[in-house]
Amino acid sequence: MARLILLNKPYGVLSQFTGGQEGAEDTLAHLVDVPDVYPAGRLDKDSEGLLLLTDDGRLQSRIAEPRYKMAKTYLVQVEGEASDEALERLANGVELKDGLTAPARARRIDPPPVWDREPPVRYRKTVPDSWIALEITEGRNRQVRRMTAAVGLPTLRLIRWRIGEWSVDGIAPGTYREIQV
């Protein structure tokens, strides 16, 4: 049986166990005290939410390798109103510097009942923001941020909510749940 850790990675934490700032709590080492598990994929330091860790190389590959096209769902707070046109562009694929993205599922959502972020997202009275749920099957570097920017909706907050069948629902930031798979 493989071990699988479902971690709610907080904002500001690197998706690695070493290499952070000396004495700082900005790596996974201060959150997960489970030997011989490694991240299956990455989340940027500025992103938060579900990060899967496992001790099984085949499972890690199935989760992280683009050829398996495992769906990943993100809750994204964007600057501006998410128009039907912008959502359609996201759904059809967006041209980025490294090529056209695969089609995605994109929909406008009400602000989700998620935890507060520290530091909080900047608030501007004159610029509205909105939330979208975006499901992708690729995993390019900073892909969601680049996709939303390409359709005129810069990302303010990015939470990975789901990878395949696994979700961060019910897991507090900085904590994890271990399951056997």
Q: Which of 26, 33, 36, 44 is catalytic?
A: 44
For the chain, the three-class secondary structure string (H helix, E strand, C coil) is CCEEEEEEECCCCCCCCCCCCCCCCCCHHHCCCCCCCEECCCCCCCCEEEEEEECCHHHHHHHHCHHHCCCEEEEEEEECCCCHHHHHHHHHCCEECCEECCCCEEEEECCCCCCCCCCCCCCCCCCCEEEEEEEECCCCCCHHHHHHHHCCCCEEEEEEEEECCEECCCCCCCCEEEEEC
Tell me whether residue 46 is one of the annotated catalytic residues.
no
Active site residues: 44
